[in-house]
Each structure stands twice: as structure tokens, then as C-alpha cells.
Structure 1
């Protein structure tokens, strides 16, 4: 009997890898008890199962949580940062990006067909899903029609950990292109603290001033952090 045939027979008679039973048990626990019964790293495992079918992914899932901090932060991490994790290939990164895209799409659907100012909690939930766990500052605009329905949701600037370039006249130019009558300004604080800075307040008033002669209203400026949000309108800063 050749060494190759003996090796093949040994492989056929060998017990299945331990992680296969673990995968079945984890899937069953998810089916019966739902996501709340699973730790963050276990949810990451479920995602990785599809991309990495022949390996124990628990150590990799735990490494991701250790690096980024939570399920949400793993899913929101930039691809280039995910690629720094040893053993995490392109297929797994794509799976994580799909989950992020699905979460954003679901959250956005809750505000797409209702007046945004009458569903502000849904707007905040969407913005938190889209921005709360980013590691760079991002400034986005929700463009609204005269009935406050969402026309477009666009990122206007992506920057560093504490600054994103924003140009009030460019915002208004885009609002006119879209025939928008009102705006909700949104940006995140990667530090996690949503307290608006002096610069945030000053920029908001600049945008309001540029929009006023064009009859374009700024309804609010939301600052999104990992630990909550701040509304300049609620704080009576605009």
C-alpha cells in the first residue's frame, strides 16, 4: 500500500475536526435563543463560518474583538485595518462588509419613507448604525424635501480622528442640485464623546447663514459618538 493511499484511508477513518461540532452547536444556540444569547465573538464566528469553512475560527473571532473592542466596531472597521489581522483573508473581510452594508440598509429603510423630522429617533438610530463606530471623522448630510422626506443621504467629508473637511457653500450647492429645502447635519466623534465642540457650533452657524438667503433650513446638527449622541437643536445651540 502506498503512503498516499494509507494517508487517504487514515483521513477517511479519522474523527471529524472538533470545530465542526462546535459550529453546529453554535448555530443551534443561535436558532433557539437568538443573538442575545451569544457573545460578540460568537456572532463574529457565525459570520466567519461562511468565508473560512475548514478552520477553527474562534481564535480569529476573539482576536478581532480584542483589536477593535466590540461586534459593532469589528463590522465597522475599515478593510485595510481588518487586513492587519493575521489569518483574515479577503473573503472574510467581504463577509464582514456585507453585514455592515445590511445593517445600514435596514436602518436607512426606517427613515426613507417617513418625514425625517417626525421620526427623529429613527434618524438617530440610522446615524448611529452608520457612524458611531467609525475610526475617522465623517460629515454627512441628510437632504430633505419641503415635506421633510429624505431626498438623499450623502457623506460630504471624511477626515482624521478629529476633523473632517466641510465647506458650507459646497453643501448648499449640492442642496440646490437636489432641490432640497432642508438639511440635517450629522458627524461623528471617533473619541466616543458626542459633546459638540466650539468648532462644531461655529460651523453649524456658518451653514445656517449660507442657507438662509437660499431658503434652505438646517433642522438640526447631530453629533454621534459610541456612547450616545448630541443634538444642537435640543441643546438650544441653534
Structure 2
């Protein structure tokens, strides 16, 4: 039996013990399953993904879920960037462990199980060190930080000053909320799609927003605006956001429907 470790929020530990790990993560070729990493002799390498995953927010910190898979279980293995190019290889679980253990530098590698992990496959759940691993990418320390929306650490120490010093041309400090709302109201109803798309882009970089004032855009005649609205509220904690996404998920336009469903999956708590 091959042993792997999966990192998840401490708040999900009781559910993991009771029901296993749900297949909610998206892998190569649209597969849904569970990300994990082999248990290696090096404690640091085994938990290398911890600091990177912690950047995206956890409830109660992270815990390490050790799971045993049959040696013949098919999994995907490769570096984290390989999945985007479809370069991860399908191998058996035992081979995935051997392949990663033989690497001179296994940092940034991952294993993807294309299914849920059953409760009987959970070996144990234990506390994990909260300071192990790399952030952003292996060997990122000492390189010029990127301030784009995908790379920056929201709420991290010094993040605001860093963005002001090194603004990104597309994801730099957004206009003030008052200015954004003025843009939406100035275009009228239904409004110029180009202006609304630009405004919704900046709203997507915020954690909250004036949902009652933007909800009317869910009925905008341009489906591109409705899609942008779904992505703009993806990380919002504003009350009513889930109801708006449910309405967009029922949209007659296929693109709007798929965007809203994708956002709802991203917002769903993972185990």
C-alpha cells in the first residue's frame, strides 16, 4: 500500500474521518479528485505544500491527512505546472511514490487521485507544522515579487505597500469603491458593456461590494457582462452573493451558466 499525505483545513478533519475526502479539486483534463503527495523520509519535503496552501486561507490552520492507496491505483503525477499543458503522466500509485522519491529536487511535484478517497483509506489525521514548505514557487525567495492578482498574497504583511511600490498594469491597486460605483451608475441602464466589464474587473479584486447596486447586471442583455458579474463576486463575503450566483447558474446562456457553476464550486468548502 502506498502512503500519501493530503493537506486540508483543520475544521474539515471530523468530516474527513467520518466520510473521507470528497473529489472537489480540479485536475488535468477536467478530472475531479484529490491532490496529495507521497510520504517521504524528509519531513520538510513531505509537507512542502503547506505554506503555499495556507496563503489561500484556512479555518483553524491545516492538518495532514495520511491515506493509504492500493499500489495499483492509477494516479496522475507531475509538477504543478504540467497539468496546464496536459503533461502529467498516468501511473500506478506505487510508481508515483518511487518516481518522486528518486528525484534530486521533488519540490513542486504533486499526485492527483482522480476520485474521492474513501473513509477506509484514511490512515490518520494529525496536526501539521504551519511553517514548512515554500511559498509562490520553489526558489522564489530572492526574486522580484509579482503583484498580479493570481500571485499576490491578499492580507499578507506588507502586501499593500508592495502593490503601491510595484503596481501591476492590469491588477494594480483598484480604484476606490466610490469611484467604481460612480462608473456603474454613470452608464445608465442597461449600460455600455465595455465600461461595465472594466468596472467588474476591478470589483473582482475586492472581497466585498455593493451587491444590491450591482444585482441588476444579472439581467443585462450582454451575456459577457453577466459572466463577468459571476467572476467578479467569486471571492465576495457580502450577504446575498450565493443567491445571485444561483440566479446566474439558471441563466439561459450556456457561458453564463458554466461561469456561475464554476464560481459556486470554487466557493464550496473543500475537504
Normalised TM-score (structure 2): 0.23
Compare relative contact order (CA 8 Å, sep 6+) and give the higher one, 1 or 2: 2
Question: If each structure's helix is expressed as a fraction of its own residues, which one has the higher value?
Answer: 1
